[in-house]
Amino acid sequence: MQILVVAATRLEVAPLAAAFACDTADGQPLVTCAAAGHQVDVLIAGIGMVATAAWCARALAQRRYDFALNLGVCGTFDRSLPLGTVVHVVSDHLAELGAEDGEHFLTMHDLRLVADATFKNSSAPANSIIDRLPRVAGITVNTVHGSDRSIAAVVQRLTPQVESMEGAAFMYACTINAVPFAQVRAISNVIEKRNRAAWNLPLAIGNLGEVAIAAIEGA
């Protein structure tokens, strides 16, 4: 099986890279390694939806993959999800795609413009590890939420559970290229006024690595 793993940073795939002897430290955005009889390409696309969309488009144009896996950390709006929880993001929304009209947000539908803003994973490949993960709704943003006002507004408008800066771009690229995919993330922090002292990146990245390794070995 040909598998594409996409992450924003090397840190987010460090456990997987170590387990499969993938050299992601040489500065190349795409490296190839072998795992459990599969060829695994690890793409470090960079932070943000633009970088993710551009690099995913290039990778998917150059090779046909049987499965694509987006790995990363995320923040959560849902305080019932403990830090370190690994989730399967099955729907994602470009939260900022629209226009402001005073204090009101206008969607593309409100503007009578045609644009894809919501992406759903209706054809994820069967995988016993991923199938057991909590299924959540996410949003993708350019600016991470960090004020009570903006958090309340986006929760009221979209009721998301998690937030990332890349997920929807990955899902869009896989959808238009008809590649089965899954967006899998680990919760590193609650979305609130920025408080790095309350984050737990080591726990999130460790748990994410365990799930990712098991999912690829079981693919």
C-alpha distances (whole Å) from 215 to each of 38, 52, 68, 88, 212 are 12, 22, 12, 12, 5
User: Residue 67: is its pLDDT beyond 80?
Assistant: yes
**If you average pLDDT over every residue of the chain, what do you get?**
95
**Could you tell me which residues come within 8 angstroms of residue 121 by beta carbon, excluding any fewer than 6 positions away?**
89, 90, 91, 171, 181, 182, 183
Judge contact between 98 and 107, C-beta under 8 A: yes
Q: What is the CA radius of gyration of the chain?
A: 17
For the domain that residue 145 is a member of, what is the CATH number?
Answer: 3.40.50.1580
- Number of domains the chain contains: 1
Full residue range of the structural domain in which residue 17 is found: 2-217
Judge contact between 150 and 162, C-beta under 8 A: no
Judge contact between 92 and 183, C-beta under 8 A: yes
pLDDT at 118: 94
User: Residue 140: is its pLDDT beyond 80?
Assistant: yes
pLDDT at 123: 77
Tens digits of residue pLDDT in 148-200: 999 999 999 999 999 999 999 999 999 999 999 999 999 999 999 999 999 99
pLDDT at 92: 98
Average pLDDT over residues 34-42: 92
pTM, to two decimals? 0.95
For residues 187 and 73, give the distance between their C-alpha atoms in angstroms, rounded to a whole number.
6
Tens digits of residue pLDDT in 81-123: 999 999 999 999 999 999 999 989 999 999 999 899 999 998 7
Please spell the DSSP secondary structure of 138-195, one letter per residue: EEE-SS---SHHHHHHHHHHH--SEEESSHHHHHHHHHHTT--EEEEEEEEEESSS--
